[in-house]
Amino acid sequence: MSQFDLGVNREGSFCLKWDERKAVFGRADVIPLWVADMDFAAPQPVIDALVERARHGAFGYSGHDPRDVDAVVNWMKNRHGVEVAREAVLFSPGVVDSLRVAVAAVAKPGESVVVQTPVYGPFYSVVKDAGCVIRRNPLIHTEAGWQMDFDDLEAAFKEGARAIILCNPHNPIGRVWRREELEKVSELAVRYGAALIADEIHADLELPGHKNTSVSAVNPDAMAFIAATKTFNLAALRQSSALIPNPDRRKAFQDEMSRRGINGLNLMGAVAQRAAYEGGEPWLNELLTYLDGTRQAVEKYLAERLPMLSVSPLMGTYLMWLDMRALNMEQEALEKFLVEKAGLGLSSGVFFGEEGRGFMRMNIATPRHNVEKALEQLEAALKAEGLC
């Protein structure tokens, strides 16, 4: 039995995933497999560091401990094999905040920014909120899985797109991009003078057999945004890091942060991040093995009992992208069926863009028995409707 089989009872803690079910799905009893966080306690070294700092008792204005930067640099080097200079590391409350700042720093209102759809919903709003135009570069769904469309990407840059926001690994399709693919994106961005912005919040969640490559390793002018929040379940502590080696890009980013009043330290976020990077690795290794076991269980269940549904191969993230198009339901009817008949709270495919129609995203970062129960409920509901 793994520690992850136990999980943590989050009900009543005001967490979104469990406690907002009635508001979001209209039913408080769906199995919640939506918000991208985990039903697991953070690593013990993180909890200990927070308790120790809390015992100090004074929480007045504070600067960063220099070891906060060391922890990021060492994590990138030891875990990912990427050398990051200390001065390249900046802190930000969240990766979405960083994306918002980065887009405004590199593109002017009216200019276009590429996003590879389907993609995490806020990618659209950060572009729109900067007054920029979204240039979709849809991913192609092939027999061999999801691929980037490089010809269309080149066309986008030729048309004048100023930047691309990469999701690396990609939420919701679960792809870890190959180094050659990232090099190709980088080469095109350099050729056409576009900025390469990468959301790497899921980078640590590479499942066994898959190795994520940071854009920091392929393009010295890239802006990469990482966080310990997704990896170690610390999202409400609001802490992330920006890796920006190019001094001009870094200054533009910092200036835009200041303009938006994003400054100051979130003390407990910084404490948790450092503790996670310094002491959370054994927990993370166990987590990845556990998630991979759940991934295999889902794939087996679908193949044996629900073969009309398919799932994209999960390489990174704990988010499985379910292709439910074979059920021939309109998106609204599909969502209603999943909530009302199957008792499931999943993320709608259309949150990720029009390309997500007929798809649903299932978060498997919960004790495996919850996922198994969800699949059983789904099968029973499909049977009752004569759909399997």
Taking the complex as a whole, how short is the minimal distance between the CB of residue 319 and ligand PLP, in angstroms?
A: 8
Q: Are 223 and 244 in contact (CB under 8 A)?
A: yes
Taking the complex as a whole, how short is the minimal distance between the CB of residue 100 and ligand PLP, in angstroms?
A: 9
Q: Please, is 298 exposed, middle or buried when counting C-beta atoms within 10 Å of its C-beta (0-12, 13-18, 19+)?
A: buried
Residues that bind ligand PLP (CB under 6 A): 36, 94-96, 120, 167, 171, 199, 201, 227, 229, 235, 240
Comparing CB distances to ligand PLP, the nearer of 169 and 343 is 169
Taking the complex as a whole, how short is the minimal distance between the CB of residue 17 and ligand PLP, in angstroms?
A: 11
Comparing CB distances to ligand PLP, the nearer of 36 and 130 is 36
Taking the complex as a whole, how short is the minimal distance between the CB of residue 279 and ligand PLP, in angstroms?
A: 21
Neighbouring-strand partners of residue 362: 320
Comparing CB distances to ligand PLP, the nearer of 36 and 207 is 36
Side-chain-side CA neighbours of residue 224 (13 Å): 29
Comparing CB distances to ligand PLP, the nearer of 36 and 309 is 36
Comparing CB distances to ligand PLP, the nearer of 33 and 96 is 96
Cis peptide before 169 (omega within 30 of 0): yes
| DSSP 8-state secondary structure symbol assigned to residue 126 | H
Comparing CB distances to ligand PLP, the nearer of 44 and 266 is 266
Nearest-CB residue for ligand PLP: 94
Choose among 361, 370, 352: nearest CA to 118: 352
Whole-angstrom Cα distance, residue 54 to residue 83?
33
Comparing CB distances to ligand PLP, the nearer of 171 and 219 is 171
Taking the complex as a whole, how short is the minimal distance between the CB of residue 282 and ligand PLP, in angstroms?
A: 24
Whole-angstrom Cα distance, residue 233 to residue 45?
13
Taking the complex as a whole, how short is the minimal distance between the CB of residue 306 and ligand PLP, in angstroms?
A: 26
Reduced to 3 states (helix: H, G, I; strand: E, B; else coil), residue 184 is helix
Comparing CB distances to ligand PLP, the nearer of 195 and 306 is 195
In degrees and rounded to multiples of 5, residue 101 shows phi and psi of: -65, -45
Taking the complex as a whole, how short is the minimal distance between the CB of residue 278 and ligand PLP, in angstroms?
A: 20
Report the relative pairing of strands 112-115 and 133-136 from DSSP bridges.
parallel
| DSSP 8-state secondary structure symbol assigned to residue 316 | B
Taking the complex as a whole, how short is the minimal distance between the CB of residue 200 and ligand PLP, in angstroms?
A: 9
Q: Please, is 386 exposed, middle or buried when counting C-beta atoms within 10 Å of its C-beta (0-12, 13-18, 19+)?
A: exposed
Q: Are 241 and 272 in contact (CB under 8 A)?
A: no
